[in-house]
Amino acid sequence: MSGSQKAVWGWGSGRVPGAAAVLALVAALLLPGAPGAAAADGPTVKLSKSQAGTGGSITVTGTGWRPDTILMLLICGQSLPSTGVTGGTNSCANADGRTVTTGKEGDFSRELPVAEPPQPCPCVVHVATITGPKAEADAVFQVAGHPVEPLPQRVGDGRLAVLGDTRLVGSSGLLTWFGAAPARELVFTVRNIGQAAVKDPVFQVGTSHGVFAPQWQEQQWRGAIKPGGKQRIELPVELAAGAHGDYTVSLKSGGKVLAEQPWGVGRPWGVTLFWILLCLVVPGAVFRIGMAVVERVGPYRANGRHRGLRMPDFAFRLPKPEGSAATGPRAGTASTLPWFAPDTDDPSPTPRAGGGPLPAAPPEGSPTTKGNA
């Protein structure tokens, strides 16, 4: 090998940096799309068109996102990439938003219909994560025919920072135990680290359950915070009726999340107890109503008390053989049957007026008194 070649490669001269440069060049040629570079740049969003009218559509592509992550795509008004979505999701066309899942390399491509946001432009296509760690990116977009207004000017350049004493204050009442909406007060202290006063700051309070993204609501605090000053602020937080489980309350201002506070909400056992009692009381009430109807409709005695159903009594008597002596009815048998007249077949003597018994009938074939005479 010639000396010039040795000089190029650094061999024989003790220059190790020449070999390191060669190895770096080989790594760059073999691994042009190393994930570390994409992660350093952060997530990005690109649009197929910078302007389109309502009813059309654009293609949104992105790179540098976490793999297998669900993203939300929205067109938002009164926003710029430098300032973020200042009005929160309330300034976005939420009904026409789309979701997409990133691929193994953290990229995606999704068609998004063009819709007018509730706020005037300048507009952006806002892409944010729904699950997992928060990440977002914006791209400038113009909705053709939609009004354009300048962004509201900020008072001075004041900036708020939340100190580390954020907490939730309050307790659940009896109605919450029966399914009423849980409510708390988010208490925190902010410091103005800017050079100008901050007047009537607008905060965004979001509540999230599990892995779902927070649902943001704007709340404005009335007052002014001087430069370098501190202020204790209380903002109400309320969940939906019957909510229970582990929630997270987030505080955001100026497009940045300032604080997060966990909130464990107990199960409304009063609702469960109510349904158990309902399942026991309703069948008992129905049974009692049915028994009252039976008592009302059924037969009654003269004294008003209910008498049960009885089978009718029947009495049977065998016919007497001809010529037998007349005897009275046996014990336990009725004297007559219901289909005979009372005096038809009654062998018992009939008492006369004197109290004595009537004479017996003369035997058959004997002369009567009148005949003897």
Domain contains 82:
yes
Note whether 123 and 192 are same-domain residues. Answer: no
Note whether 226 and 255 are same-domain residues. Answer: yes
Note whether 138 and 73 are same-domain residues. Answer: yes
How much is the pLDDT for 137? 92
How much is the pLDDT for 281? 85
Q: Indicate the Cα dihedral angle 320, 322, 327, 328, nearest 10°.
A: 40
User: Which tens digits make up the pLDDT trace of 215-243?
Assistant: 888 888 888 888 888 889 999 998 888 88
Residue 40, phi then psi, degrees to nearest 5: -70, -35
Mean pLDDT calculated for residue range 352-366 = 57
Domains in the chain, number: 3
Domain contains 338:
no
Neighbours of 113 (CB within 10 A): 15
Mean pLDDT calculated for residue range 88-112 = 91
Picking from 207, 234, 265, the residue at the C-terminal end of a domain is: 265
Note whether 97 and 55 are same-domain residues. Answer: yes
Note whether 50 and 20 are same-domain residues. Answer: no
Domain contains 129:
yes
d(CA 212, CA 106): 20
Provide the CATH number for the domain around residue 67: 2.60.40.230
> Which tops the pLDDT comparison, 330 or 247?
247
> Which tops the pLDDT comparison, 301 or 45?
45
Domain contains 199:
yes
Note whether 183 and 210 are same-domain residues. Answer: yes
Q: Which of 161-165, 280-284, 323-327 has the highest mean pLDDT?
A: 280-284
How much is the pLDDT for 31? 39
Picking from 119, 144, 169, the residue at the C-terminal end of a domain is: 144
User: What's the mean per-residue pLDDT of the chain?
Assistant: 75
Picking from 223, 247, 265, the residue at the C-terminal end of a domain is: 265
Express as a percent the part of the chain with pLDDT over 70. Answer: 67
Provide the CATH number for the domain around residue 166: 2.60.40.10
Q: Which of 26-30, 158-162, 196-200, 358-362 has the lowest mean pLDDT?
A: 26-30
Angle in degrees, CA 215, 76, 38, rounded to 5? 85
Does residue 127 have a pLDDT over 50?
yes
> Which tops the pLDDT comparison, 53 or 213?
53
How much is the pLDDT for 342? 55
pTM of the model: 0.40
Residue-number span of the structural domain to which 137 is assigned = 42-144
Domain contains 316:
no
Who contacts 178 (Cβ-Cβ below 8 Å, separation ≥6)? 268, 270, 271, 274
Note whether 96 and 182 are same-domain residues. Answer: no
Does residue 143 have a pLDDT over 60?
yes
Express as a percent the part of the chain with pLDDT over 90. Answer: 25
Domain contains 325:
no
Note whether 61 and 11 are same-domain residues. Answer: no
Who contacts 94 (Cβ-Cβ below 8 Å, separation ≥6)? 74
How far is C-alpha 160 from the chain's CA centre? 36
Angle in degrees, CA 158, 160, 161, rounded to 5? 145
d(CA 72, CA 89): 11
How much is the pLDDT for 365? 60
d(CA 273, CA 265): 18
Note whether 186 and 106 are same-domain residues. Answer: no
